[in-house]
Amino acid sequence: MVDPFQRTVSYLRVSVTDRCDFRCSYCMSENMTFLPRQDLLTLEELERLCAAFIAKGVRKLRLTGGEPLVRKNIMSLVRALGRKIGSGLDELTMTTNGSQLAQFAEELHDCGVRRINVSLDTLSPEKFRQITRRGDFYKVMDGIDAAQRAGLLVKLNAVALKDQNSDEMPDLIRFAHGRGMDMTIIETMPMGDVEEDRTDRYLPLSQLRDELERHFTMTDTSYATGGPARYVTVQETGGRLGFITPMTHNFCESCNRVRLTCTGTLFMCLGQSDAADLRLVIRASDDDDVLFAAIDDAIARKPKGHDFLIERNNRKPSVLRHMSVTGG
Residues engaged in binding ligand SF4 (CB under 6 A): 20, 22-24, 27-28, 65-67, 97, 119, 324
Q: Which is nearer to ligand SF4, 89 or 158 (CB)?
A: 158
Q: Cα torsion at 258, 263, 265, 267 (round to 10°)?
A: -40
Cβ at position 15, least distance to ligand SAM in Å: 7
List of residues 6+ apart from 10 with CB closer than 8 A: 1, 57, 58, 59, 60, 226, 256
CA-CA distance, 43 to 65, in Å (whole number)? 14
What is the DSSP secondary-structure string of 48-100? HHHHHHHHTT--EEEEESS-GGGSTTHHHHHHHHHTTBTTTB-EEEEEE-STT
Nearer to ligand SF4, 9 or 325 (CB): 325
Which one, 295 or 310, has the nearer CB to ligand SAM?
A: 310
Q: Which is nearer to ligand SF4, 32 or 80 (CB)?
A: 32
Burial class (CB in 10 A: 0-12, 13-18, 19+), 195: exposed
CB of 2 to ligand SF4, least distance (A): 31
Residue 165 binds what, of ligand SF4, ligand SAM, none (CB under 5 to 8 Å, by partner type)?
A: none
- Least separation, in Å, of the C-beta of 187 and ligand SAM? 7
State the nearest-atom distance from the C-beta of 93 to ligand SF4, in Å: 15
Which partner from the list ligand SAM, ligand SF4, none does 96 bind, CB cut-off 5 to 8 Å by kind? ligand SAM
| Chosen from ligand SF4, ligand SAM, none, partner binding at 137 (C-beta under 5 to 8 Å by type) | none
Residue nearest to ligand SAM (CB): 328
Going by the DSSP 8-state scheme, the letter that residue 135 receives in this structure is -
208 binds, options ligand SF4, ligand SAM, none, Cβ within 5 to 8 A by partner type: none
C-alpha 22/C-alpha 35 separation (Å) is 16
Contacts of 36 (CB under 8 A, 6+ apart): none
Smallest distance from ligand SAM to CB 134, Å: 13
Residue with Cβ nearer ligand SAM (57 or 226): 226
Q: Which is nearer to ligand SF4, 28 or 43 (CB)?
A: 28
DSSP code, position 243? E
**Considering only CA atoms, which of 13, 49, 5 is closest in space to residue 227?**
13
Query: How wide is the angle at C-alpha 204 spanned by C-alphas 203 and 208, nearest 5°?
Result: 80
157 contacts which partner out of ligand SAM, ligand SF4, none, CB within 5 to 8 A by kind?
ligand SAM
| Total residues found in the chain within this entry | 328
CA dist., res. 273 & res. 271, Å (int):
7
Query: Which CB, 186 or 276, lies closer to ligand SAM?
Result: 186
Task: State which residue, 97 or 272, has the beta carbon closest to ligand SF4.
Answer: 97
Q: Contact residues for ligand SAM (CB under 6 A)?
A: 20, 26-27, 64-65, 67, 95-97, 119, 157, 159, 186, 188-189, 191, 323-324, 327-328
23 binds, among ligand SAM, ligand SF4, none (CB under 5 to 8 A by kind): ligand SF4
Instruction: Report what 261 binds from ligand SAM, ligand SF4, none; CB cut-off 5-8 Å by kind.
Output: none
- Which partner, ligand SAM, ligand SF4, none, binds residue 100 by CB below 5 to 8 Å per kind? none
For residue 165, the minimal CB distance to ligand SF4 (Å) is 14
Residue 214: is it exposed, middle or buried by C-beta count within 10 angstroms (0-12/13-18/19+)? Answer: exposed
What span, in angstroms and rounded, lies between the C-alpha atoms of 258 and 163?
33
DSSP assignment of 181-239 equals -EEEEE----BS--SS-GGGT---HHHHHHHHTTT--EEE-----SSS-EEEEETTT--
